[in-house]
Amino acid sequence: GTANYTALTGAQTNATVLSGAEVVKFTRMPDGSENPEAQIKPLAYTGAARFDQLSDLPTMKELGYDMEFCIKSWWFAPKGTPKAAIEGFANALEASTSTDRYQKFLESKGFANLFLGGNDLQQDLQNTWTAIEPVAKLASKK
């Protein structure tokens, strides 16, 4: 986020991916109004629906692109970690997602409340790889 913003404020034109919260931080005033000095222009949101804090920003699908992508955070345990320890930690993380403090954090950042574990997580990881593999292959070509 911040490194991308710094790079984007030079004399060149660049494209980057920022979270909804980063776009708000870099383009809006504390009261939510547009920052007249913002040097970046968001073009589209990659979520399934418009981002509440940037309701005038269309989604990629609205612009005719069949593209949806959400940057997720994952927690992994070292190989060999006992299953009971993994399950205990996963249960604690999942329980924390329903607390008021966590809900306020999500709202302040514009993050979705999504907790995945077990087979659901494995399927999501596979879906993510399927979506980004073609781009990763293109990026590796010189």
pLDDT at residue 71, rounded to an integer: 79
Count of CB atoms within 10 A of residue 45's CB? 21
The per-residue pLDDT for 88 is 97
Residue 28: which of 71, 48, 57, 69 has the closest Cα? 57
| pLDDT at res. 19 | 84
Domain map of the chain by residue range? 1-69, 72-142
Residue 58 pLDDT: 96
Reported pTM: 0.64
Residue 134 has a CB neighbour count (10 Å cut-off) of: 9
pLDDT at 64: 96
Q: Can you give the pLDDT at residue 12?
A: 63
Residue-level pLDDT, tens digit, the chain, 142 residues: 666 766 666 656 677 788 888 888 889 998 888 899 998 889 999 888 998 888 999 999 999 998 888 878 888 899 999 999 999 999 999 999 999 999 999 888 878 888 998 899 999 999 989 988 988 888 887 6
Q: Look at residue 142 in the predicted model and tell me its pLDDT.
A: 63
Contact between 21 and 28 under an 8 Å Cβ cutoff? The reply is no
Return the SS3 of 101: helix
